């Protein structure tokens, strides 16, 4: 019997250019099988690692972009919030004068107060960046403590924005006393109640502005109020006190 021989490997291409497929090389032994499996596993792990690295870089860039918008909005909100402390002497004296004018039916002085404007500054509180961040998955990729500081500050800013509507309604009601009409007990009572509500809301707003907006922004995020906005409130306070005189001790 002739010795059995392994068939020779077919050439990659014959003279006519036709290609031949190589037969898979047989695996000899368990060790070689493990080696082949290891190569495959390592290749898969490398691919997964690269995919995760690309994904992490993608989210880091998204978080950085989100923080640029968040900090811009929070800078405005922290600036607006400073009005509560700066305008405090104006607001207290203004509301005291308004209350006295309503009791005395001094329509002329009420008109002067109205011409000056309210003892607060209506501002377009900025929460758009925070709303966008909440709607996305940014919070899942930002440090929890940092995300919570943003959440606290923007909740405060949103609440102060809602207070603007309350201020406006009560201010409109109170300043109807500037019309020189015959005294009406019910109307005066409503106007005085509006002044009391306005005072109460401004005082609550003062607490929120400091504790929930200004302090967290400065202490934990390094966000400070805009100096130009702060100076504007100082000038308004000076004009207000010039009109009213210094607050009573």
pLDDT tens for each residue of the chain, 249 residues long: 445 455 555 455 555 555 555 555 565 566 666 666 776 766 677 777 766 665 666 678 888 999 999 999 999 999 999 999 999 999 999 999 999 999 999 999 999 999 999 999 999 999 999 999 998 888 888 999 999 999 999 999 999 999 999 999 999 999 999 997 787 889 999 999 999 999 999 999 999 999 999 999 999 999 999 999 999 999 999 999 999 985 554
Give pTM, 2 decimals: 0.77
Contact call for residues 178 and 106 (beta carbons, < 8 A): no
20 vs 170: CA distance, rounded Å = 90
Tokens of 164: 């603007």
Check residue 184 and give its pLDDT.
86
23 vs 9: CA distance, rounded Å = 8
Check residue 180 and give its pLDDT.
75
Check residue 2 and give its pLDDT.
46
3-state DSSP call for residue 14? coil
Contact call for residues 216 and 64 (beta carbons, < 8 A): no
Q: What angle do CA 157, 161, 163 make, to 5 degrees?
A: 115
Check residue 13 and give its pLDDT.
52
Check residue 249 and give its pLDDT.
47
Distances (CA, A) of 71 to 78, 93, 95, 128, 138: 10, 34, 34, 12, 14
| Percent of residues in the chain assigned helix, strand, coil, to nearest 5 | 75, 0, 25
């Amino acid at each position: 019997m002739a010795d059995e021989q392994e068939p020779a490997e077919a050439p990659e291409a014959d003279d006519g250019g036709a290609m031949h497929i190589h037969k898979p090389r047989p695996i000899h032994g368990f060790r070689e099988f493990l080696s082949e499996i290891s190569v495959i596993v390592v290749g898969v792990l490398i691919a997964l690692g690269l995919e995760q690295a690309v994904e992490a870089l993608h989210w880091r860039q998204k978080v950085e972009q989100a923080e640029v918008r968040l900090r811009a909005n929070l800078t405005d909100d922290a600036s607006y919030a400073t009005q509560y402390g700066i305008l405090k002497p104006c607001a207290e004296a203004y509301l005291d004068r308004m209350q006295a004018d309503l009791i005395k039916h001094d329509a002329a002085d009420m008109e002067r107060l109205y011409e000056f404007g309210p003892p607060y500054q209506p501002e377009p509180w900025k929460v758009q960046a925070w709303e966008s961040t909440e709607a996305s998955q940014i919070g899942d990729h930002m440090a929890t403590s940092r995300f919570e500081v943003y959440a606290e500050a923007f909740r405060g800013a949103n609440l102060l924005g809602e207070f603007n509507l309350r201020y406006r309604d009560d201010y409109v009601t109170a300043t109807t006393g500037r019309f020189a009409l015959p005294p009406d007990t019910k109307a005066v009572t409503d106007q005085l109640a509006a002044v009391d509500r306005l005072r109460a809301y401004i005082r609550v707003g003062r607490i929120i502005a400091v504790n929930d907006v200004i302090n967290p922004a400065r202490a934990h995020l390094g966000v400070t109020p805009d100096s130009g906005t702060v100076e504007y409130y100082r000038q308004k306070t000076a004009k207000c006190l010039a009109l009213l005189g210094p607050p009573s001790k």
